[in-house]
Amino acid sequence: MSGAATRPVALTIAGSDSGGGAGLQADLKTWSSCGVFGASVVTCITAQNTRTVRRLDPVAEDLIQEQLDAVLDDLPVAAVKTGVLPSADVVRRIASTLRARSVSTLVVDPVLVATSGDLLAGPGVAEVLLERLGPLATLVTPNLREASTLTGRPVSTLPEMRDAASALLDRGLGAVLLKGGHLHGAAVDLLADAAGFEEFAAERVDVGPVHGTGCALSAAIPAGLARGFPLREAIGRGKRLVHAALVDSMAVGSGSRVLGFAALRL
């Protein structure tokens, strides 16, 4: 490759949100705000808006593979984030490729169900994700519902978050950030790794439902890692970015609000 990238490069492997509020669109908007060049591998195409997911069509597995190879063959990818992975076979393919390519920074956002309640991932995805992608990940970032699915236990309080995080570490994950946006009271995210637990709290922004907050936080963290910040600092900076984007959120449709990224920096 001639020359050098002027910004670190991050790659999202995720679904497309036609409404622009979540999925790879949210990842790319976040990265633009964070001073990171974003590349993408599209895993599925959705017909959705601020109210619901009307349709989800997975991209052919060989095309997902070709997108991934094309990016990794050319771009100096410093960090990878995964979002919606529609089938267990897709998870296996991606894990195999990332392992073979020795990707060193990987944030796995185990997106299984949309905020609207619509299913986004097929049978067996959660278990294969834990078995194949989890051990490769720098960080796994489930929300409370996803943590419950991954552990088979209720997760709705901070003590239950600690129990779930411990259970996920016992499954071989190196670090877990449980996103507590659906907790009552302050918005507390819980990090668990070999060093113990750390809480990242922010005052709750009372603007009603907002689409794409989990995607944005899970994208801001690999952006920080790609820029050289340690994990805890990347999480803290990402948390502050998403809080500011929540304050700046807007109603673009008749359903959930969407995040505002104008003039935000990591």
Q: What pLDDT, in 10s, does the model give residues 231-264?
A: 999 999 999 999 999 999 999 999 999 999 875 6
How far apart, in whole angstroms, are the C-alpha atoms of residue 4 and residue 1? 8
Q: Cβ distance 86 to 43 under 8 Å?
A: yes
Exposed e or buried b for every residue in 137-149, given b needs 16+ CB within 10 A? Answer: bbbbbbbbbbbbb
d(CA 188, CA 159): 12
Nearest-angstrom CA–CA distance, 143 and 177: 8
Please give the structure tokens belonging to residue 189.
């995210």
Distance CA 93, CA 98 (A): 9
Of 29-38, 71-80, 125-134, 179-188, least confident by mean pLDDT is 179-188
Q: How many CB atoms lie within 10 A of CB 208?
A: 9
Complete DSSP assignment for 146-213: HHHHHHTS---SHHHHHHHHHHHHHTT-SEEEEB-TTSSSSEEEEEEETTEEEEEEE----SS-EETH
pLDDT at 116: 57
pTM, entire model: 0.94
8-state DSSP, 229 = -
Residue 24, SS3 per DSSP: helix
| Residue range 199-223: mean pLDDT, rounded | 92
Taking the CA atoms of 142, 172, 220 and 23 in sequence, report the sign of the dihedral they define. negative
Tens digit of each residue's pLDDT (9 = 90 or more) over 6-38: 899 999 999 999 999 999 999 999 999 999 999
Domains and CATH numbers, the chain: 9-258 (3.40.1190.20)
Q: Predicted confidence band at 203 (pLDDT cuts at 50, 70, 90)?
A: confident
pLDDT of the residue at 5: 52
Averaged pLDDT, 131-136: 96
Residue 195 has pLDDT above 90, yes or no: yes
Q: How far is CA 54 from each of CA 24, 62, 257, rounded to the nearest angstrom?
A: 18, 25, 18
